[in-house]
Amino acid sequence: MMSNATVKPTVFNTLAGASILNPKHAREKRNIFSDLLLTALIDAFSILVIFLLMSFSSTGELLTLGKDMELPKAALGDIIERNPVIKIDGDKLFLEDKEIKETDLVAALMALREQHKELHPETEFPGIITLQADRRVQFTQMNSIILATGNAGFSDIKFAVLMK
């Protein structure tokens, strides 16, 4: 009596593969559909990766602009390179994104120069610095900063500008 009450495993196998609409080919359609879905996902992922590679620069972000900062426009210019950055933002002065007093600028620039000599003993000190300021900043405000960079041994000053 016990053997008649149990359902044979082959009955479950046939019930799982059965379909009301298409009993013979139900499994094949599910496999084709999953293959198509996987192919579409791979295509979408490939497009996303290519877009991200094309849209992001390999050099990284070299300058950060404040909310109200407008760089001056210039007709001629070069591609920006990685140099120490002095940023004038209103009444505040930043050296490499660290706020600094104007009276301490020469000492901080000398420390940058010594740090370069320690990290790169075989190369000559380039003496290049980038000055980033709003277009409305007066030259009298920048004059003391330019003199401080000259006193610290930075002979080449590059101004951050936007191309026209």
Q: How far, in Å, CA of 12 to CA of 18, rounded? A: 10
- Checking if the pLDDT of 1 tops 60, the result is no
More confident residue, 13 or 155: 155
For the segment 12-23, the average pLDDT, to the nearest whole number, is 53
E strands, the chain, in order: 73-74, 85-89, 92-95, 98-100, 128-133, 156-159, 162-163
- Checking if the pLDDT of 7 tops 70, the result is no
- Checking if the pLDDT of 36 tops 80, the result is no
Confidence label for 30 from pLDDT (cuts 50, 70 and 90): low
More confident residue, 128 or 34: 128
Contact 84, 129 (CB under 8 A): yes
Averaging pLDDT over each range in 45-54, 80-89, 155-164, which range is the top one?
45-54
Q: How far, in Å, CA of 155 to CA of 151, rounded? A: 9
- Checking if the pLDDT of 76 tops 80, the result is no
Contact 135, 70 (CB under 8 A): yes
- Which two structure tokens, joined as six digits, stand for 104? 């301490």
Confidence label for 103 from pLDDT (cuts 50, 70 and 90): confident
Cβ atoms within 10 Å, residue 45: 10
Q: CA-CA distances (angstroms) from residue 134 to 10, 72, 98, 120, 147?
A: 80, 7, 18, 33, 19
Q: Report pLDDT digits (tens) over 142-153.
A: 888 888 888 888
At 151, give phi and psi (nearest 5°).
-65, -30
Q: Identify the pLDDT of residue 48.
A: 92
Tokens 């591609």 sit on residue? 79
Mean of the per-residue pLDDT values of the chain = 76
